[in-house]
Amino acid sequence: MKDQPTAPSILSTSVQHVVSLGVDMFADELEQQGASVTRVAWRPPVEIAENAYRLLGALED
């Protein structure tokens, strides 16, 4: 993954699109306020060591 350049402040642009990982109630409330929300059905890594999990994150990069 290529790192993104420094973005303009979210305070000046307002929130464009939210990605929600985890508890659904937060995503529900954001949608009810009219926000665009994409949900990620995150699951905990099963039976892999924490180091391997970090490595996966780096590979996703």
Partner 1 sequence: MDQLVRVIPDTYFDSVVLMGAAAKAKARDGVSEAAAFMGTTANKALLVTAGFPEDSFTTAGAGDVILALMVTPEVGEAVMADVVDGLLGASRASDEGERTIEHRSLTGALRTIARHGETADLAVISLPGQYVETQAMLALKRGLNTFIFSDNVPLDSEVRLKEEAVRRGLLCMGPDCGTAWIGGLGIGFTNEVPRGSIGIISAAGTGLQAVACGLANGGEGISHGIGVGGRDLSREVGARMTLLALTMLDADPLTEAIVIVSKPPAPETLVVLEEALTRIRKPVVVACLGAAERVTDHATWVSTLSDAVEVTLAMRQGRERSTATFGNPAAVDAALASTVVGKGPLLGLFTGGTLAHEAELILADALGPVSYGDEDALARGEHAILDLGDDQYTQGRPHPMIDPQPRADRIVEMGTSAGVILLDLVLGRNSHPDPSAPVVEAIATLRARLGEATPPIVASVTGTPQDAQSRPRQEAALVDAGCVVLPDNAQAARFAARLLTEGNAR
Which stretches of the chain bind partner 1, using CB under 8 A?
Answer: 1, 3-7, 9-27, 29-30, 33, 35-36, 38-47, 50, 53-54, 56-57, 60-61
Q: Do 20 and 30 contact (CB within 8 A), yes or no?
A: yes
Gap between the Cα atoms of 35 and 10, Å rounded:
14
Q: How far is the CB of 9 from partner 1 (least distance, A)?
A: 5
Q: How far is the CB of 61 from partner 1 (least distance, A)?
A: 7
Residue 50, helix vs strand vs coil: helix
Q: How far is the CB of 40 from partner 1 (least distance, A)?
A: 5
